[in-house]
Amino acid sequence: MAEKLPENQTMPAEGEFAALMEASLAERGGEINVGDRITGPVIAITETTLVVDTGTKLDGVADKSEFLDENGELTLQEGENVTLFVVSVRGDEVVLSKVLSGRGGAEALQQAFENNLPVEGKVEASRKGGYDVEILHHRAFCPISQIDLAFTEDPEVHVGQTYSFAITTFERDGKNIVVSRRKLLEQERAESELRFLESVNPGDVVPAVITRLVAFGAFAEVAPGLEGLIHLSELSWSRAEKAEDAVSVGQAVTVKVLSFDRDKKGRPRISLSIKQAGPDPWDSVNEQFAVGDKVEGKVTRLADFGAFVEIAPGIEGLVHVSEMSHIRRIAKPSDVVASGDVVTVSIKDIDLAKRRISLSLKDALGDPWANVPETFAVGATVTGTVENRQQFGIFVTLAPGRHGTPARLQAARRHRSGRL
Protein backbone atom coordinates (compact mmCIF):
# COMPACT_ATOMS: atom_id res chain seq x y z
CA MET A 1 0.00 0.00 0.00
CA ALA A 2 1.45 3.37 -1.01
CA GLU A 3 2.39 5.74 1.75
CA LYS A 4 0.01 8.69 2.03
CA LEU A 5 1.58 12.12 1.71
CA PRO A 6 0.97 14.63 4.50
CA GLU A 7 -1.69 17.27 3.93
CA ASN A 8 -0.57 20.36 1.98
CA GLN A 9 2.28 18.33 0.35
CA THR A 10 2.01 17.10 -3.21
CA MET A 11 4.15 14.72 -5.23
CA PRO A 12 6.70 16.75 -7.24
CA ALA A 13 6.33 16.75 -10.97
CA GLU A 14 8.80 14.75 -13.06
CA GLY A 15 10.84 17.82 -13.97
CA GLU A 16 10.90 19.02 -10.37
CA PHE A 17 12.02 15.58 -9.19
CA ALA A 18 14.99 15.63 -11.60
CA ALA A 19 15.93 19.08 -10.37
CA LEU A 20 15.75 17.93 -6.77
CA MET A 21 18.02 14.95 -7.57
CA GLU A 22 20.51 17.25 -9.31
CA ALA A 23 20.49 19.60 -6.33
CA SER A 24 21.04 16.65 -4.00
CA LEU A 25 24.05 15.49 -6.01
CA ALA A 26 25.44 19.03 -6.07
CA GLU A 27 25.06 19.24 -2.29
CA ARG A 28 26.86 15.90 -1.98
CA GLY A 29 29.69 17.27 -4.07
CA GLY A 30 28.93 15.47 -7.35
CA GLU A 31 28.82 11.83 -8.35
CA ILE A 32 31.71 9.41 -7.92
CA ASN A 33 32.27 6.94 -10.70
CA VAL A 34 34.54 3.96 -11.13
CA GLY A 35 37.77 5.11 -12.72
CA ASP A 36 37.71 8.60 -11.17
CA ARG A 37 41.03 9.85 -9.84
CA ILE A 38 40.58 11.18 -6.32
CA THR A 39 43.05 13.34 -4.39
CA GLY A 40 42.27 14.06 -0.76
CA PRO A 41 43.54 13.92 2.81
CA VAL A 42 43.61 10.78 4.95
CA ILE A 43 41.05 11.44 7.67
CA ALA A 44 41.34 8.17 9.62
CA ILE A 45 43.53 5.07 9.83
CA THR A 46 42.23 1.78 11.22
CA GLU A 47 43.91 -1.60 11.61
CA THR A 48 43.12 -2.58 8.02
CA THR A 49 41.93 0.49 6.12
CA LEU A 50 42.52 4.15 5.35
CA VAL A 51 39.59 6.53 5.18
CA VAL A 52 40.04 9.28 2.60
CA ASP A 53 38.06 12.50 2.10
CA THR A 54 36.89 12.32 -1.53
CA GLY A 55 35.64 15.90 -1.63
CA THR A 56 32.02 14.70 -1.61
CA LYS A 57 29.55 13.60 1.05
CA LEU A 58 30.93 10.07 0.67
CA ASP A 59 34.28 9.12 2.13
CA GLY A 60 36.42 6.49 0.43
CA VAL A 61 38.20 3.52 1.98
CA ALA A 62 41.47 1.94 0.83
CA ASP A 63 43.33 -1.18 1.90
CA LYS A 64 46.03 -0.20 4.39
CA SER A 65 48.42 -2.86 3.02
CA GLU A 66 48.88 -0.80 -0.14
CA PHE A 67 50.69 1.86 1.88
CA LEU A 68 53.19 -0.27 3.80
CA ASP A 69 56.88 -0.21 2.92
CA GLU A 70 59.16 -3.25 2.68
CA ASN A 71 59.53 -3.21 6.48
CA GLY A 72 55.78 -3.17 7.06
CA GLU A 73 55.80 0.49 8.14
CA LEU A 74 53.00 2.83 7.07
CA THR A 75 54.30 5.40 4.57
CA LEU A 76 51.79 8.17 5.35
CA GLN A 77 49.82 9.56 8.24
CA GLU A 78 46.54 11.30 8.96
CA GLY A 79 46.24 14.65 7.23
CA GLU A 80 48.49 13.75 4.28
CA ASN A 81 47.07 13.95 0.79
CA VAL A 82 46.90 10.79 -1.30
CA THR A 83 45.89 10.21 -4.93
CA LEU A 84 43.85 7.05 -5.60
CA PHE A 85 41.46 5.55 -8.14
CA VAL A 86 37.82 4.69 -7.53
CA VAL A 87 37.63 0.94 -8.16
CA SER A 88 34.15 0.27 -6.81
CA VAL A 89 30.99 2.18 -5.83
CA ARG A 90 28.19 0.23 -4.12
CA GLY A 91 25.55 2.42 -2.52
CA ASP A 92 27.37 4.60 -0.01
CA GLU A 93 30.58 2.55 -0.12
CA VAL A 94 33.44 3.95 -2.21
CA VAL A 95 36.46 1.68 -2.55
CA LEU A 96 39.76 3.32 -3.50
CA SER A 97 43.05 1.81 -4.61
CA LYS A 98 46.36 2.69 -6.22
CA VAL A 99 45.70 0.11 -8.92
CA LEU A 100 43.23 -2.62 -9.79
CA SER A 101 44.76 -5.86 -8.53
CA GLY A 102 43.94 -9.24 -7.08
CA ARG A 103 41.49 -11.76 -8.51
CA GLY A 104 39.21 -10.78 -11.35
CA GLY A 105 38.06 -11.82 -14.77
CA ALA A 106 37.56 -10.39 -18.22
CA GLU A 107 34.70 -8.24 -16.88
CA ALA A 108 37.00 -6.50 -14.39
CA LEU A 109 39.60 -5.91 -17.11
CA GLN A 110 36.93 -4.57 -19.46
CA GLN A 111 35.86 -2.17 -16.71
CA ALA A 112 39.47 -1.09 -16.14
CA PHE A 113 39.92 -0.51 -19.88
CA GLU A 114 36.75 1.54 -20.25
CA ASN A 115 37.41 3.62 -17.11
CA ASN A 116 41.16 4.11 -17.65
CA LEU A 117 41.93 2.27 -14.40
CA PRO A 118 45.54 1.18 -13.86
CA VAL A 119 46.00 -2.54 -13.32
CA GLU A 120 48.73 -4.37 -11.47
CA GLY A 121 50.72 -6.81 -13.56
CA LYS A 122 53.80 -9.00 -13.29
CA VAL A 123 56.29 -9.17 -16.15
CA GLU A 124 56.58 -12.91 -16.76
CA ALA A 125 58.98 -13.08 -19.71
CA SER A 126 60.57 -11.10 -22.52
CA ARG A 127 59.94 -11.99 -26.13
CA LYS A 128 60.44 -10.45 -29.55
CA GLY A 129 59.24 -6.87 -29.43
CA GLY A 130 58.15 -6.82 -25.81
CA TYR A 131 56.99 -8.71 -22.74
CA ASP A 132 54.39 -11.18 -21.53
CA VAL A 133 52.56 -9.63 -18.56
CA GLU A 134 50.09 -11.35 -16.24
CA ILE A 135 47.18 -9.12 -15.12
CA LEU A 136 44.30 -10.54 -13.08
CA HIS A 137 45.20 -14.04 -14.27
CA HIS A 138 45.09 -13.00 -17.93
CA ARG A 139 48.04 -12.73 -20.30
CA ALA A 140 48.75 -9.33 -21.81
CA PHE A 141 51.45 -7.99 -24.11
CA CYS A 142 53.55 -4.90 -23.38
CA PRO A 143 55.65 -3.54 -26.29
CA ILE A 144 59.26 -2.93 -25.29
CA SER A 145 58.85 0.77 -26.08
CA GLN A 146 56.03 0.94 -23.49
CA ILE A 147 57.81 -0.67 -20.54
CA ASP A 148 59.72 2.46 -19.48
CA LEU A 149 60.28 6.13 -20.31
CA ALA A 150 63.85 5.56 -21.46
CA PHE A 151 65.13 3.05 -23.99
CA THR A 152 65.65 -0.39 -22.43
CA GLU A 153 69.10 -1.72 -23.32
CA ASP A 154 68.74 -4.96 -21.35
CA PRO A 155 65.18 -6.34 -21.67
CA GLU A 156 65.76 -8.85 -18.87
CA VAL A 157 65.97 -6.15 -16.18
CA HIS A 158 62.16 -5.92 -16.12
CA VAL A 159 61.42 -9.65 -16.02
CA GLY A 160 59.99 -10.66 -12.64
CA GLN A 161 59.03 -7.09 -11.72
CA THR A 162 55.50 -6.05 -10.73
CA TYR A 163 54.34 -2.72 -12.14
CA SER A 164 51.19 -0.71 -12.72
CA PHE A 165 49.96 -0.75 -16.32
CA ALA A 166 47.34 1.02 -18.41
CA ILE A 167 45.26 -1.20 -20.70
CA THR A 168 45.52 0.30 -24.19
CA THR A 169 43.84 -2.52 -26.14
CA PHE A 170 41.12 -4.93 -24.97
CA GLU A 171 39.63 -7.16 -27.66
CA ARG A 172 37.86 -10.50 -28.10
CA ASP A 173 36.71 -10.74 -24.45
CA GLY A 174 40.24 -10.44 -23.14
CA LYS A 175 42.00 -12.69 -25.64
CA ASN A 176 43.95 -9.72 -27.01
CA ILE A 177 45.18 -7.35 -24.31
CA VAL A 178 47.91 -4.76 -24.81
CA VAL A 179 49.22 -2.74 -21.86
CA SER A 180 51.55 0.20 -21.34
CA ARG A 181 53.56 1.16 -18.30
CA ARG A 182 55.00 4.17 -20.10
CA LYS A 183 51.57 5.80 -20.41
CA LEU A 184 51.21 5.87 -16.62
CA LEU A 185 54.78 7.06 -16.14
CA GLU A 186 54.19 9.92 -18.58
CA GLN A 187 51.02 10.90 -16.71
CA GLU A 188 52.93 10.80 -13.44
CA ARG A 189 55.73 12.88 -14.91
CA ALA A 190 53.29 15.45 -16.27
CA GLU A 191 51.64 15.77 -12.85
CA SER A 192 55.03 15.98 -11.13
CA GLU A 193 56.14 18.62 -13.61
CA LEU A 194 53.03 20.70 -12.93
CA ARG A 195 53.49 20.46 -9.16
CA PHE A 196 57.20 21.25 -9.54
CA LEU A 197 56.52 24.34 -11.65
CA GLU A 198 53.91 25.57 -9.18
CA SER A 199 56.07 25.13 -6.10
CA VAL A 200 59.71 25.52 -7.19
CA ASN A 201 61.59 28.46 -8.73
CA PRO A 202 65.16 28.87 -10.03
CA GLY A 203 67.39 29.39 -7.03
CA ASP A 204 65.45 27.05 -4.77
CA VAL A 205 67.24 24.17 -3.04
CA VAL A 206 65.43 20.81 -3.16
CA PRO A 207 66.17 17.15 -2.37
CA ALA A 208 66.91 14.77 -5.24
CA VAL A 209 68.14 11.24 -5.97
CA ILE A 210 70.82 10.37 -8.54
CA THR A 211 69.19 8.16 -11.20
CA ARG A 212 71.85 7.74 -13.89
CA LEU A 213 75.37 8.79 -14.84
CA VAL A 214 76.43 10.08 -18.26
CA ALA A 215 79.69 11.33 -19.78
CA PHE A 216 78.75 14.98 -19.20
CA GLY A 217 77.28 14.68 -15.71
CA ALA A 218 74.45 12.97 -13.85
CA PHE A 219 70.66 12.97 -13.89
CA ALA A 220 68.76 13.37 -10.63
CA GLU A 221 65.06 12.83 -9.90
CA VAL A 222 63.56 15.93 -8.26
CA ALA A 223 59.96 14.65 -8.32
CA PRO A 224 58.37 11.31 -9.29
CA GLY A 225 59.27 10.71 -12.93
CA LEU A 226 60.88 14.15 -13.33
CA GLU A 227 64.65 14.39 -13.83
CA GLY A 228 67.11 17.24 -14.06
CA LEU A 229 70.72 17.35 -15.27
CA ILE A 230 73.68 18.09 -13.02
CA HIS A 231 76.56 19.02 -15.32
CA LEU A 232 79.97 17.56 -14.54
CA SER A 233 81.20 21.00 -13.48
CA GLU A 234 78.31 21.32 -10.98
CA LEU A 235 78.68 17.94 -9.26
CA SER A 236 81.24 19.06 -6.69
CA TRP A 237 83.48 21.93 -5.70
CA SER A 238 86.32 19.44 -6.16
CA ARG A 239 87.40 18.76 -9.73
CA ALA A 240 85.66 15.64 -11.09
CA GLU A 241 86.92 14.00 -14.28
CA LYS A 242 83.98 11.55 -14.35
CA ALA A 243 80.55 11.65 -12.74
CA GLU A 244 81.31 8.52 -10.72
CA ASP A 245 84.16 10.43 -9.04
CA ALA A 246 81.54 12.57 -7.28
CA VAL A 247 78.22 10.69 -7.04
CA SER A 248 76.66 7.24 -7.41
CA VAL A 249 73.29 5.97 -8.64
CA GLY A 250 70.72 5.92 -5.84
CA GLN A 251 72.55 8.53 -3.77
CA ALA A 252 70.35 11.12 -2.06
CA VAL A 253 71.63 14.66 -2.68
CA THR A 254 70.58 18.26 -2.21
CA VAL A 255 70.51 20.36 -5.38
CA LYS A 256 69.97 23.95 -6.39
CA VAL A 257 67.62 24.58 -9.33
CA LEU A 258 69.57 26.70 -11.82
CA SER A 259 67.03 26.91 -14.65
CA PHE A 260 63.87 25.34 -16.03
CA ASP A 261 62.83 25.38 -19.69
CA ARG A 262 61.77 23.03 -22.50
CA ASP A 263 63.50 21.45 -25.45
CA LYS A 264 62.26 21.59 -29.06
CA LYS A 265 59.87 18.71 -28.39
CA GLY A 266 58.35 20.45 -25.39
CA ARG A 267 59.94 18.15 -22.84
CA PRO A 268 61.06 19.68 -19.53
CA ARG A 269 64.74 20.55 -19.24
CA ILE A 270 65.94 21.25 -15.71
CA SER A 271 69.47 22.34 -14.84
CA LEU A 272 70.68 21.51 -11.33
CA SER A 273 73.78 22.00 -9.19
CA ILE A 274 75.03 20.11 -6.16
CA LYS A 275 77.94 22.39 -5.39
CA GLN A 276 75.85 25.58 -5.44
CA ALA A 277 73.38 24.04 -3.00
CA GLY A 278 76.05 24.36 -0.29
CA PRO A 279 78.44 27.10 0.86
CA ASP A 280 81.27 28.32 -1.37
CA PRO A 281 84.51 26.92 0.14
CA TRP A 282 86.40 30.08 -0.87
CA ASP A 283 84.26 32.07 1.58
CA SER A 284 86.10 30.41 4.48
CA VAL A 285 89.65 30.24 3.06
CA ASN A 286 90.99 32.89 5.46
CA GLU A 287 89.57 30.92 8.37
CA GLN A 288 91.32 27.73 7.28
CA PHE A 289 94.66 28.86 5.86
CA ALA A 290 97.35 31.50 6.30
CA VAL A 291 100.55 32.35 4.44
CA GLY A 292 103.37 30.15 5.74
CA ASP A 293 101.13 27.22 6.68
CA LYS A 294 102.30 23.75 5.71
CA VAL A 295 99.39 21.64 4.49
CA GLU A 296 98.81 18.32 2.79
CA GLY A 297 97.10 18.20 -0.59
CA LYS A 298 96.43 16.08 -3.64
CA VAL A 299 97.84 16.80 -7.09
CA THR A 300 94.79 17.20 -9.36
CA ARG A 301 96.37 18.12 -12.70
CA LEU A 302 99.62 19.12 -14.36
CA ALA A 303 100.36 22.06 -16.66
CA ASP A 304 103.52 23.13 -18.47
CA PHE A 305 104.15 25.77 -15.83
CA GLY A 306 103.42 23.74 -12.70
CA ALA A 307 101.04 21.48 -10.80
CA PHE A 308 97.65 22.19 -9.23
CA VAL A 309 97.14 20.83 -5.73
CA GLU A 310 93.79 20.60 -3.91
CA ILE A 311 94.37 21.49 -0.26
CA ALA A 312 90.65 21.36 0.69
CA PRO A 313 87.46 20.38 -1.18
CA GLY A 314 87.13 22.94 -3.97
CA ILE A 315 90.29 24.82 -3.01
CA GLU A 316 93.19 24.41 -5.45
CA GLY A 317 96.55 26.13 -5.45
CA LEU A 318 99.40 26.23 -7.96
CA VAL A 319 102.92 24.95 -7.38
CA HIS A 320 105.01 26.69 -10.04
CA VAL A 321 107.92 24.70 -11.52
CA SER A 322 110.29 27.15 -9.86
CA GLU A 323 108.83 26.12 -6.48
CA MET A 324 109.31 22.39 -6.91
CA SER A 325 112.90 21.78 -5.86
CA HIS A 326 115.87 23.35 -4.15
CA ILE A 327 118.08 20.59 -5.46
CA ARG A 328 117.76 20.87 -9.22
CA ARG A 329 116.20 22.85 -12.02
CA ILE A 330 112.85 21.31 -13.00
CA ALA A 331 112.05 21.22 -16.73
CA LYS A 332 108.53 19.86 -16.40
CA PRO A 333 106.27 19.13 -13.38
CA SER A 334 105.96 15.44 -14.24
CA ASP A 335 109.66 15.06 -13.31
CA VAL A 336 108.62 15.62 -9.69
CA VAL A 337 104.91 14.78 -9.21
CA ALA A 338 102.02 12.97 -10.90
CA SER A 339 98.25 13.43 -10.77
CA GLY A 340 96.88 11.77 -7.66
CA ASP A 341 100.07 12.19 -5.59
CA VAL A 342 99.59 13.38 -2.02
CA VAL A 343 102.18 16.05 -1.20
CA THR A 344 103.05 18.51 1.56
CA VAL A 345 103.16 22.13 0.42
CA SER A 346 103.75 25.52 1.97
CA ILE A 347 101.35 28.41 1.32
CA LYS A 348 103.24 31.36 -0.21
CA ASP A 349 100.36 33.70 -1.10
CA ILE A 350 96.54 33.92 -0.97
CA ASP A 351 94.64 36.19 -3.39
CA LEU A 352 90.93 35.96 -2.56
CA ALA A 353 89.90 38.49 -5.22
CA LYS A 354 91.36 36.30 -7.98
CA ARG A 355 90.74 33.03 -6.12
CA ARG A 356 94.38 32.07 -6.38
CA ILE A 357 96.71 30.40 -3.92
CA SER A 358 100.43 30.07 -4.56
CA LEU A 359 102.07 26.96 -3.12
CA SER A 360 105.61 25.67 -2.78
CA LEU A 361 106.98 22.17 -2.52
CA LYS A 362 110.55 23.27 -1.86
CA ASP A 363 109.59 25.63 0.99
CA ALA A 364 107.74 22.77 2.68
CA LEU A 365 110.92 20.67 2.53
CA GLY A 366 113.06 23.53 3.81
CA ASP A 367 116.12 25.31 2.33
CA PRO A 368 119.05 22.83 2.30
CA TRP A 369 121.51 25.76 2.68
CA ALA A 370 119.89 27.03 5.87
CA ASN A 371 122.05 24.92 8.25
CA VAL A 372 125.21 24.57 6.15
CA PRO A 373 127.47 26.50 8.64
CA GLU A 374 126.53 24.10 11.42
CA THR A 375 126.58 20.92 9.32
CA PHE A 376 129.74 21.63 7.30
CA ALA A 377 132.22 23.52 9.47
CA VAL A 378 135.40 24.99 7.96
CA GLY A 379 138.22 22.45 8.21
CA ALA A 380 135.91 19.46 8.58
CA THR A 381 136.52 16.35 6.48
CA VAL A 382 133.42 15.20 4.62
CA THR A 383 132.46 12.61 2.04
CA GLY A 384 130.70 13.58 -1.18
CA THR A 385 129.98 12.54 -4.74
CA VAL A 386 131.66 14.06 -7.79
CA GLU A 387 128.89 15.48 -9.96
CA ASN A 388 130.84 17.49 -12.54
CA ARG A 389 134.42 18.23 -13.59
CA GLN A 390 135.53 21.58 -14.98
CA GLN A 391 138.94 23.10 -15.81
CA PHE A 392 138.83 25.19 -12.69
CA GLY A 393 137.82 22.32 -10.43
CA ILE A 394 135.21 19.73 -9.69
CA PHE A 395 131.67 19.95 -8.26
CA VAL A 396 130.95 17.68 -5.32
CA THR A 397 127.53 16.96 -3.82
CA LEU A 398 127.86 16.86 -0.05
CA ALA A 399 124.12 16.42 0.63
CA PRO A 400 120.91 16.82 -1.40
CA GLY A 401 120.90 20.39 -2.71
CA ARG A 402 124.29 21.26 -1.28
CA HIS A 403 127.33 21.39 -3.55
CA GLY A 404 130.94 22.29 -2.90
CA THR A 405 133.60 23.64 -5.35
CA PRO A 406 137.15 22.80 -4.07
CA ALA A 407 140.14 24.65 -5.44
CA ARG A 408 141.85 23.04 -8.44
CA LEU A 409 145.08 22.15 -6.64
CA GLN A 410 143.33 20.75 -3.60
CA ALA A 411 141.02 18.72 -5.80
CA ALA A 412 143.97 17.38 -7.80
CA ARG A 413 145.83 16.29 -4.67
CA ARG A 414 142.82 14.51 -3.25
CA HIS A 415 142.10 12.91 -6.56
CA ARG A 416 145.64 11.48 -6.77
CA SER A 417 145.40 10.18 -3.23
CA GLY A 418 141.98 8.66 -3.89
CA ARG A 419 140.24 10.88 -1.37
CA LEU A 420 137.27 13.15 -2.11
If one counts every other C-beta atom within 10 angstroms of the C-beta of residue 117, the result is 22
Asked whether residue 367 carries a pLDDT value surpassing 70, the answer given is: no
Which residues are within 8 A (CB) of 298 and not within 5 positions of it... i.e. 6 or more apart?
A: 309, 310, 340, 341, 342, 343
pLDDT for residue 369 = 62
Question: Between 326 and 244, where is the model more confident?
Answer: 244
Average pLDDT score, the chain = 82
DSSP single-letter state for residue 241: S
Q: For the residues 159-163, what does the mean pLDDT come to? A: 93
Q: What is the pLDDT of residues 205-235, one digit of tens each?
A: 999 999 999 999 999 999 888 899 999 999 9
Q: What is the mean pLDDT of residues 293-310?
A: 91
Q: How far is CA 212 from CA 35, 243, 251, 253, 274, in A?
A: 34, 10, 10, 13, 15
**What is the DSSP secondary structure assignment for residue 192, as one 8-state letter?**
H
Q: Is the pLDDT of residue 3 over 90?
A: no
pLDDT confidence of 409, banded at 50, 70, 90? very low
Query: Binning pLDDT at 50, 70 and 90, where does residue 129 land?
Result: very high
Look at residue 46 and give its three-state secondary structure.
Answer: coil
CB atoms within 10 A of CB 52: 23
Candidates 381, 375, 387, 377; CA nearest to 414 is 381
Strands of 385-390's sheet, edge to edge? Answer: 385-390, 393-399, 402-404
- Give 8's DSSP letter: T
Quickly state the pLDDT bin for 373 (edges 50, 70, 90).
low
pLDDT tens sequence across 392-403: 777 776 665 555
Confidence of residue 102 (pLDDT cuts 50, 70, 90): low
